[in-house]
Structure 1
Amino acid sequence: MNKTLFLWLFVACLLSSCSLKKDKLPDDSSAAINTIAVIIDDQLWNGEVGDSIRNKFASPVLGLPQEEPLFTINQYPVKLFEGFSTASRNILIIKKGNENKFELKENEFASPQNAFHISGKTSFEILEILQKNAPDIIKKMRAIEITHNQKIIKDSLLDSKKIQKKFNIDLLIPSKYEYVMRRRNFIWLKSEITSGNNSLIIYQIPWKSIRPNYAVNDIVKIRDSVGQLWIHGSAPGTKMVTEEAYSPYFSKTTLFGNKTYETKGTWQMKNDFMSGPFISYAIFDKAHRRILVLEGFCYAPSKEKRDLMFELESIIKSIQIKK
């Protein structure tokens, strides 16, 4: 009797354990922002495949005054990884195999997570797969990092009713930002950091202020006029202007379903020694017949700026335009 009861209890516990294991959701991803776990054997990592990975995923971020990598790469040999999970949001698993394969598995070991599996019969075939898929991999990696950053921001939000009222938009802005200046069509917010600050400015301009064939020139002229009007240093006669020595990086994108011009470059304070990177989005808000400009810029002379600028990008890309 006792043996039978014990057997039934053992089977019930075993089935319960299996069910829990099967239904258990992946652990939350807890990796540092903008990092990749690359699972690859040392032989491949120290050869052409590793060079290709570094060239593509650790290439310099556009628009920063000093070189900083697009992603911070942590490499682990395959043998150390197999049988274990990782909390990285972005994983690149590369190894030689019996077939050429590229596969994305979402939330395989943690959530949220992109796990990209690449295998090839030879190093050359692995390189071909990398070359073909790298742009899409980078796009997905950046998207998951933006979403993660926005989730962090949601934990402590600034009351943005003043922005909603003035520009008819919603933004996810961390509570560490404070209103520095509010004018008729202009708002400036700032977050103080050690030996510097992060700034976000929002303003709107007439619908035809930026001409398609002269977009970069018009954007620079407009942001320089805004800097001259509102953004000054502590000394008299100082004003923010676009750095003339380096041409800004320009691209087209879409934000909240609207055509958008993205501009990245460096700014300087004229007649002063302050400078830093900026990222600007000119959104063609067709519904309201206006161009809405959201720009983030950073002053942090003693710090790396990649993640500071990424925070500003995450804030801007959270925009929702009300009807």
Structure 2
Amino acid sequence: MIKRKSLYLALIALFVGILVSCETSTNENSKKPKARGASGEILLVIDSLKFQGPVGDVLEGILEEDIKGLVREETLFDIRRVDPRSMTRILKMAYNIIYVTTFDDKKPGSRMISSQFSPQARETATEDPTRFMIRNEDEFAVGQEVIYLFGNTEEELITNLRKNKERIQNLFEVRERDRLADAILVRNNGALKTKGEELFGFVLNIPASYQFVKQGDNFLWARQPTPTTQRADISLFIYETDYTSEEQVFPENIISMRDDILKTRVFGDPDNPSSYIITERQIAPSFRNMEIDGKYAIEMRGQWRTNNLSMGGSFVSYTIVDQATGKLYYMEGFLYYPNETHKKALREIEAILMATEFPQGQK
């Protein structure tokens, strides 16, 4: 018991503000239930009146921001708000939980959350106004992430939330993507893995439910062939070319490369050459920098349609420069799922493509 208390105090010193309730052990975890929750769902625990004010507005702007590149509005995460006084044992088993409070707030819900902080945590937050977040794993259930967002005042908390918007979003994006990957990548398509290694020299981890469609010079296409009302029609393709100039990864040039790849390779109707796929320009694609297996990548999100306007949908892609081999790789997943939300299918594409394994020494 002395060793456990020593470890607990060390964690307080190291992370500056660990809660008293964080002390766990392997035996304790084995007795906890397994965390549960729908894909992309976050339980937001906050005093009802505080949520109706400026803090709630900022949190909504972070957690319920619209996903870029989609036709209809879809939020990054699905928020389920609960007042602290309504938390039950069942609710505490949620996969993702965020507690929010400020220490100057005397409303019952906020005081209930603040009471969970140790005196050391309260003191540290007072002395360092940049401290605003504590992360706890498996606090109430195995596989769970519990985040505490706090500040001495609302103004202080709002400032920190705005400064760390992308950090908070990325934390849950990665977590949800990893959870999905654990579920869908249990069984991979061995034939596609072999074809990927032969064509490109790296490992493609594509679920067994996907099937080979087509390959050509430096090109491979796979598809999830059994779309239903509960599952999107998803296609994945990979393309390789020589890397000759930094201009190749400029946004407009990535779009042009995409259109060139698809114009002669992918058709909405194989019997109709005019049904080739193009990038929809009415909704401008969005770009951001990423990393895949240690390699720099440029993510692009947007909408596609067939040239004859017969079909359309969403896509997400990664353009990767391998300077060691002098190659540029373009990996994309696009989906057809009319009249349904797209974010879960897009997250599946992310999970698959970001599981790509490049040879060691070429990162």
Q: Same fold judged by TM-score > 0.5?
A: yes
- 1:207 aligned to 2:213? no
CA separation in 2, counterparts of 1:19 and 1:299? 46
Q: 2:75 aligns to what?
A: 69
- Residues 42-57 of structure 1: matches in 2 within 5 Å? 42-57=48-63
Q: 2:17 aligns to what?
A: none
Query: Which stretch of structure 1 is more off in the superposition, 50-59 or 186-195?
Result: 186-195
CA separation in 2, counterparts of 1:19 and 1:46? 38
Q: 2:161 aligns to what?
A: 130
Q: 1:176 aligns to what?
A: 209
Identity, % of aligned positions: 26
Shift of 1:267: 1.0
The secondary structure found in structure 1 opposite 2:69 is coil
**Using a 3 Å threshold, how does the CA distance of structure 1 residues 172 and 89 change in structure 2: closer, same or farther?**
farther
Q: 2:19 aligns to what?
A: none
The secondary structure found in structure 2 opposite 1:225 is helix
Is contact 2:196–2:203 with CA below 8 Å preserved after alignment?
Answer: yes
**Using a 3 Å threshold, how does the CA distance of structure 1 residues 127 and 60 change in structure 2: closer, same or farther?**
same
Read off the aligned partner of 1:193 and give its amino acid letter.
Answer: P
Shift of 1:95: 2.1
Q: 2:334 aligns to what?
A: 297
CA separation in 2, counterparts of 1:111 and 1:135? 26
Query: Which stretch of structure 1 is more off in the superposition, 47-56 or 305-314?
Result: 47-56
Is contact 2:275–2:310 with CA below 8 Å preserved after alignment?
Answer: no
Is contact 2:46–2:100 with CA below 8 Å preserved after alignment?
Answer: yes
**Using a 3 Å threshold, how does the CA distance of structure 1 residues 80 and 318 change in structure 2: closer, same or farther?**
same
Shift of 1:270: 0.4
CA separation in 1, counterparts of 2:162 and 2:88? 25
Q: 220, 232, 241: which is aligned to 1:187? A: 220
- 1:198 aligned to 2:234? yes
- Residues 1-323 of structure 1: matches in 2 within 5 Å? 22=28, 24=30, 26-81=32-87, 86-97=92-103, 99=122, 100=125, 101-159=132-190, 160-191=193-224, 192-194=226-228, 197-208=233-244, 211=247, 215-234=250-269, 235-323=272-360
Read off the aligned partner of 1:112 and give its amino acid letter.
Answer: G
Query: Which stretch of structure 1 is more off in the superposition, 297-306 or 124-133?
Result: 124-133
The secondary structure found in structure 1 opposite 2:86 is helix
Shift of 1:137: 1.6
Shift of 1:84: 6.5
RMSD (Å), alpha carbons: 2.4
CA separation in 1, counterparts of 2:89 and 2:283? 48
Shift of 1:125: 3.1
Unaligned runs of 5+ in 2: 1-23, 105-121, 126-131
Shift of 1:243: 0.9
Partner deviation per Cα, 1:251-289 (whole Å, 9 max, x = no partner): 222222222121111111001321111111111122322
CA separation in 1, counterparts of 2:299 and 2:28? 45
Read off the aligned partner of 1:288 and give its amino acid letter.
Answer: T
Partner deviation per Cα, 1:80-102 (whole Å, 9 max, x = no partner): 22777633332210123254553
Partner deviation per Cα, 1:195-240 (whole Å, 9 max, x = no partner): 651111011011126616x611211111111111101122342110
CA separation in 2, counterparts of 1:128 and 1:112? 30
CA separation in 1, counterparts of 2:223 and 2:43? 33
The normalised TM-score by structure 2 is 0.77
Is contact 1:171–1:318 with CA below 8 Å preserved after alignment?
Answer: yes
CA separation in 2, counterparts of 1:86 and 1:128? 28
Shift of 1:162: 1.8
Read off the aligned partner of 1:250 and give its amino acid letter.
Answer: F
The normalised TM-score by structure 1 is 0.86
**Using a 3 Å threshold, how does the CA distance of structure 1 residues 23 and 210 change in structure 2: closer, same or farther?**
closer
CA separation in 1, counterparts of 2:234 and 2:142? 29
Shift of 1:26: 4.4
Read off the aligned partner of 1:49 and give its amino acid letter.
Answer: V
Larger radius of gyration: 1
Read off the aligned partner of 2:220 and give its amino acid letter.
Answer: I
Q: 2:9 aligns to what?
A: none
Unaligned runs of 5+ in 1: 1-17
CA separation in 2, counterparts of 1:111 and 1:170? 31
Shift of 1:142: 1.1
The secondary structure found in structure 2 opposite 1:172 is coil
| Higher share of residues assigned strand | 1
Is contact 2:185–2:205 with CA below 8 Å preserved after alignment?
Answer: yes
The secondary structure found in structure 1 opposite 2:146 is strand
Shift of 1:21: 6.2
Read off the aligned partner of 1:199 and give its amino acid letter.
Answer: S
**Using a 3 Å threshold, how does the CA distance of structure 1 residues 261 and 96 change in structure 2: closer, same or farther?**
closer
